[in-house]
Amino acid sequence: MSNILDEYKDIYDIKKMDYDKLDEFSGEIRTFLIEKLSKTGGHLASNLGIVELTLSLYKVFDFNIDKIVWDVGHQAYVHKILTGRKEEFKSIRKYGGISGFPKRSESKYDFFDTGHSSTSISAALGIARTRDLEKKENEVIAVIGDGALTGGMALEALNDVGDRKTKLIIILNDNGMSIGENVGGVSTYLSKIRVDPKYNKFRDDFDKLLNKIPNLGKGISKSIDRMKDSIKQLIVPGMLFEDMGIKYLGPIDGHNIKELSLVLSQAKQNKGPVLIHVITKKGKGYKFAENDPDLFHGVGPFDCSTGKCAKKPFSYSKAFGENIVLLASENKKLIGITAAMKDGTGLGNFALKYPERYFDVGIAEQHAVTLAAGMASNGFRPIFAVYSTFLQRAYDQIIHDVCMQNIPVIFAIDRAGIVGEDGETHQGVYDLSYLSHMPNMTIMAPKCIEELFYIMNFALKQPYPIAIRYPRGGDMDNVKLSPYKNFKKGKWEVVLEGEKLAIIAVGKMVQKSILVCEKLKEYNINSTVINACFIKPIDEELIKKLIKQNYKIVTIEDGVIIGGFGSLVLNFINSLEEKVNILNIGFEDEFIPHGDPEILYRINELDINGIINRILKFYNLRR
């Protein structure tokens, strides 16, 4: 028996396949994904759910002419397989290998780089409108998930689409999930459509009846259209999309290639915008992923036969989850907020124990920040748990709604620093730069997992906004540090006493600095290591003391140098008009690709050897 995937050559092969063969092909693709990702890890569940939809898109459209934008992008693995990258899946998300997201630099079929949700409609609309300006006639398709539809940007784009009636095909891939289960009004609205077939049956029957009536007059036709609209309003709550000026088709079985292909072909004939509501199952075809789509959303290597994943070490996320439950038992006004990342941020147990104080707002970081500000302004103590890369989306709200009013919102910033395999769109290296210039904002970081509790406890007692940043994963195995407990705003902890050189490090980089300090002794450099537990404000008195004692100063941070912690220290020293030898170590002014974090640290000279080499060069010494 021949293997379709092995014989597959290019996208035109799909057009030659009948529906039975396409169904067989979809099974082979699922098997391929499960086998490959069990070794490399990656976004499994979302891609298993989109196999038939992707094949249907390639059956109907010609992506040498037409263009497609995948929202978020982690659901584009099948698209990558079909566009000549099957053999490269052994390197997916590895340094130097293919990305887990669409990359324009990677393939001519990746028309737009995507990594954060709710972006595809805006990008596709921009492509469609330039197509119209150039008087071309190719199709433009945006694929967006139901979770991403809660993002304000997606709703803004829908509003714009309906206003100008730009020809655009929007595929709403509705699996009832984002990373966790969807929440909110949009999710409820889609659920009603999903489970209520009355409107769709009526629409089909009514259209068949109209087609049997010859030579309808214009007046009668308009009256019937108005009557159709009125009945829609009665049968489907709101008719959100059609009210916005976008033709709605669905819901469609997202695992029926024949039905999908027919509807996609129908959408091509429409002169304006169309939204096709497709129902899929996240994790389809692999029972372990179907039963636990959260776990298999972004999964590490696993055993195909059992679905068991390697046990993860104790992490900062887990510690945060334990800490917030403990602190909530003592503080009845503590509130936990997430933007569709309950389990990822460690809020799962908090949600179970204190459901009335837990708020998942969906993929809506801007709303989450201002919601927290409103709660804090009324005497409560909200903690917004969010990944560093996603907090970027709420920059304006942090400034205007939190800092400008000096409202005591706590930001628990997970995945700060290098994240790794998800690449440029997910590296959490910008938070220090975009938070440090905001008046009234205090920024803290624990040097070890145990210290996180004491920082959280301190933050809950302060009357101003505080951002607490911490990395993905856990502590280094070969460094053991005792937590600092007696925090005073703007005061640092001296971890190791030395002379000649002061290494001032941020967060987890303190652990690396301890190891660097040990190695530097081989070069007769006896270093002081300082835990900059307060990134802002900095410890000005300690810096003055170091300058007075003629120390060379090195700052180390797992963020970009421009506008980061080192910049704050350097600016202060410059204001003193003192001549001080200072070296700032961090990430340079370039995006950081995907790959194993240790490899990324090494190529950016932020591993142990890289830091030592830079310090020796600073001393004009050679190894």
| Residues known to be catalytic | 282, 365, 393
Q: What is the spatial distance between Cα 596 and Cα 97, in angstroms, rounded to a whole number?
A: 11
Residue closest to 416 by CA, chosen among 440, 443, 394 = 443
Structure tokens at 394: 């709420």
Determine the residue type at 381.
Answer: R
| The two three-digit tokens of residue 216, written as one number | 């309808």
Helix, strand, coil distribution of the chain in percent, nearest 5? 45, 15, 40
Is the CA virtual torsion 420, 423, 425, 431 positive or negative? Answer: positive
Whether the CB-CB separation of 315 and 474 falls below 8 Å is answered with yes
> Strands 274-279, 140-145: parallel, antiparallel or unpaired by DSSP?
unpaired
Taking CA atoms, 31 is separated from 36, 41, 465, in Å, by 9, 14, 49
Residues 6 or more apart whose CB falls under 8 angstroms from that of 233 comprise 239
The alpha carbons of the chain give a radius of gyration, in whole angstroms, of: 27
| DSSP-assigned letter for residue 403 | I
CA 113 remoteness from chain centre: 13
Phi, psi for residue 353 in degrees, rounded to 5: -85, -35
Q: Helix, strand or coil for residue 481?
A: coil
